[in-house]
Amino acid sequence: MDVNAPARQTASFLRRRFQEAGVRPRTRYGQCFLIDLNLLGILVEAAELAPDDVVLEVGTGTGALTQLMAPRVAAVVTVEIDRQLFQLAAEELYARENVLMLPLDALHNKNRLDPAVLDAVFERVDAARGRRFKLVANLPYNVATPILSNLLALERAPHSMTVTVQREVADRLTARPGTKAYGALSVWVQSQCTAEVVRVLPSTAFWPRPKVESAIVRLVPDPTRRARIPDRARFHDFVRALFRHRRKLLRGELLGALKGRLDKPQVDAALRAAGISPQVRAEQLDVDSLLRLCEACRA
């Protein structure tokens, strides 16, 4: 038997494996395991992995995805918060010399990744010339948005991010202005990345079966787009503030968001400078308009 061969992660395999170990999936960690082997393969292929890649995986699970990726890349740093699952995965991954397992929460807090995770990734990226950092993961539902958002806030953002997320999150990542799903996350991602839905996944592709559909999404940061944003932290805060009350007219929303920093004449001047009507709503503005408005307010 090849000790490096990935286990066939089916529902029956997982039930038996969990029963043997005396553990259960934990809903508070958003644990849903992708059991359609073809879809696991599609996730890996969509990531376009290469021998010089260093992959961050958030949510090791039982290690099935890790085992598919490890032979293709320079290194995998895989993070699992659940100590019981960490032990299960360690039994599957012990022979993978290029896999580093971390028993951590990938998030230090909602607005910051754990420095230990990033240190481990960049140590491996910097170990040889030409290496690229990628995120590839079946992301736990409850951390998908902060993981993606915080990675885009980094100076050294990933080369690409190929992940499974709830269908609702996928819709928000790719939404167009004026649509119901369009919001702060849409703007933050699209201001820096190309974003596409690779495949919609039915709930039957997971165990335990969630109540919602999921999707494989691929985000590719664009250096040209990222260079247009002088201060990413400021832009992130600005956009989140504008979409807190998405039905309010833009002038009133700006006055509330910038209270104590800009007065009414200054807000009106910023809107004129950006060429934007005060009678529109934030959800109607495209990314370029919001970038102009942020810079006008900053100036």
Average of per-residue pLDDT across 15-24: 83
Which domains occur in the chain, in start order?
11-224 (3.40.50.150), 232-298 (1.10.8.100)
Residue 6: predicted pLDDT: 54
Per-residue pLDDT for 7 more than 60? no
pTM value is 0.93
d(CA 247, CA 286): 16
Average pLDDT of span 182-199: 98
β 132-138/193-201 pair status: unpaired
Distance of CA 189 to the CA centre of its chain: 10
Average pLDDT, rounded, for the chain: 93
pLDDT per residue over 43-81, tens digit each? 999 999 999 999 999 999 999 999 999 999 999 999 999
For residue 21, the model assigns a pLDDT of: 80
pLDDT above 50: residue 9: yes
% residues pLDDT > 90 (the chain): 82
DSSP string, 156-204: S--SEEEEEEEHHHHHHHHPPTTSTT-SHHHHHHHTTEEEEEEEEE-GG
pLDDT tens sequence across 116-165: 999 999 999 999 999 999 999 999 999 999 999 999 999 999 999 999 99
Query: Quick one: tokens of 50?
Result: 């290469």
Per-residue pLDDT, 283 = 95
- 203-239 pLDDT, tens per residue? 999 999 999 999 999 999 999 999 999 999 999 999 9
